[in-house]
């Protein structure tokens, strides 16, 4: 799924870690999310949109859902630190919030362009050759991503004023 913002009214600079917070209902006991943030350029001649390269080459977060437990001592608001010591299967039919840290970045989105959030379950072996994460057959199912006032999926950016 891809979520672009409206065209930016002014340049927007970010620095430090980025966090995605999807809220999902799953019909299986485990899944993976790969989160990518990128700048989407405006094509001024045709008013069409085309995606650019990702923020600072590749701003990605990969989360295996069985290890959701956070280390409260090391986690911060913008950098979730997962313990990876307490695997806990998901309960199909329940909505879960996932905190997924993306690589720290410094980047300036330009006025008129959009910020694009992409949430997928596996990389493309064609476009993501160096960092391919294949979607595992034992995780095949349906993920329902929520984006509403009650379930506010979000991309949290460290905006610099």
Torsion on CA atoms 67, 97, 144, 63, rounded to nearest 10? -30
pLDDT band at 157 (very low <50, low <70, confident <90, very high): confident
Contact 93, 25 (CB under 8 A): yes
Percent of the chain with pLDDT over 70: 73
Half-sphere exposure of residue 5: CA atoms within 13 angstroms, side-chain side: 23
Could you tell me the residue ranges of all domains in the chain? 2-160
Burial status of residue 37 (CB atoms within 10 A of its CB: 0-12, 13-18, 19 or more)? buried
Least confident span in 3-7, 15-19, 57-61: 57-61
For 80-132, write each residue's pLDDT tens digit: 877 777 777 788 888 888 888 887 788 899 999 998 888 877 666 655 556 55
For 9-25, write each residue's pLDDT tens digit: 999 998 888 888 888 88
Kindly state which CATH superfamily the domain 2-160 is placed in.
Galactose-binding domain-like (2.60.120.260)
Residue 57: predicted pLDDT: 33
């Amino acid at each position: 799924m891809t979520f672009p913002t409206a065209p930016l009214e002014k340049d927007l600079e970010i620095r430090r870690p980025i966090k995605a917070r999807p809220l999902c209902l799953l019909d299986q006991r485990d899944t993976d999310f790969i989160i990518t943030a990128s700048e989407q350029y405006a094509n001024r001649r045709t008013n069409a949109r085309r995606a650019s390269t990702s923020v600072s080459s590749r701003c990605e977060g990969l989360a295996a859902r069985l290890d959701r437990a956070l280390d409260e001592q090391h986690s911060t608001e913008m950098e979730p630190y997962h313990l990876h010591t307490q695997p806990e299967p998901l309960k199909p039919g329940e909505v879960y919030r996932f905190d997924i840290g993306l690589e720290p970045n410094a980047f300036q989105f330009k006025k008129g362009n959009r910020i694009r959030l992409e949430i997928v379950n596996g990389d493309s072996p064609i476009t993501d050759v160096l960092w391919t994460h294949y979607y595992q057959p034992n995780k095949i199912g349906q993920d329902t991503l929520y984006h509403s006032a009650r379930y506010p999926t979000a991309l949290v950016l460290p905006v610099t004023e």
